């Protein structure tokens, strides 16, 4: 028998995760047998304040580049939004939630998206490592 669970009187709940923008580019002819490959990843977070219904969005922006001999072979820009609702008076301030918890919830969706895109582009899967958003 399943145990009934009471939820807290305050906190944040996720309503949806939405792909806002996605751009993927690759060179047509990539020589996978030569040279060392390096990658660059840059991320940014944006968010808005809650509306009267306490609904707000957190945006996670990711830019990825794969370089060989200083030449960009693959690049990707992804922007995803998490739509959240604040209920009650959470102990975690909303700005902290938007800088740490919100992006941590969205990031696995971005990881899956870039992995799928790279596989479909015929370059194998790009697997971004998990990130700890509390350590910047």
Higher-pLDDT residue of 82, 50: 82
pLDDT in tens, 59-81: 999 999 998 888 899 999 999 99
Residue 6 lies in a domain: no
Kindly tell me if the per-residue pLDDT of 4 is higher than 60.
Answer: no
Spatial distance between the Cα atoms of 93 and 105, rounded to a whole number of angstroms: 17
Q: Is 125 inside a domain boundary?
A: no
Distances (CA, A) of 35 to 25, 84, 90, 113: 20, 44, 51, 27
Quick check: 132 pLDDT over 90? no
Residue 30 has pLDDT above 90, yes or no: no
Domain membership flag for residue 5: no
Task: Write down the pTM of the prediction.
Answer: 0.86
Mean pLDDT of the chain: 90
- Residue 102: inside a domain, yes or no? yes
- 46 in a domain, yes or no? yes
Whichever domain contains 20, its CATH number is 3.10.420.10
Q: Which range marks the domain in which residue 84 is found?
A: 11-27+35-120
Q: Is the dihedral of CA 45, 25, 16, 130 positive or negative?
A: negative
Overall average pLDDT of the 2-23 stretch: 83
Please report whether residue 58 resides in a domain.
Answer: yes
In a domain, 55, yes or no: yes
Instruction: State the total domains in the chain.
Output: 1
Residue 135 lies in a domain: no
């Amino acid at each position: 028998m399943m145990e009934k669970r009471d939820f807290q009187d305050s906190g944040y709940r996720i309503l949806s995760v939405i792909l806002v923008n996605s751009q993927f580019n690759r060179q047509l002819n990539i020589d996978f047998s030569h040279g060392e490959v390096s990658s660059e990843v840059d991320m940014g977070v944006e968010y808005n304040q809650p509306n009267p219904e306490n609904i707000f969005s957190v945006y996670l922006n990711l830019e990825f580049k794969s370089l060989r001999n200083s030449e960009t072979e693959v690049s990707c820009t992804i922007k995803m939004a998490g739509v959240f609702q604040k209920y009650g008076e959470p102990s975690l301030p909303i700005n902290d939630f938007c800088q740490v918890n919100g992006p941590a919830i969205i990031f696995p969706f971005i990881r899956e998206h870039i992995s799928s895109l790279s596989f479909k582009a015929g370059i194998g899967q790009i697997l971004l490592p998990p990130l700890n958003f509390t350590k910047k």
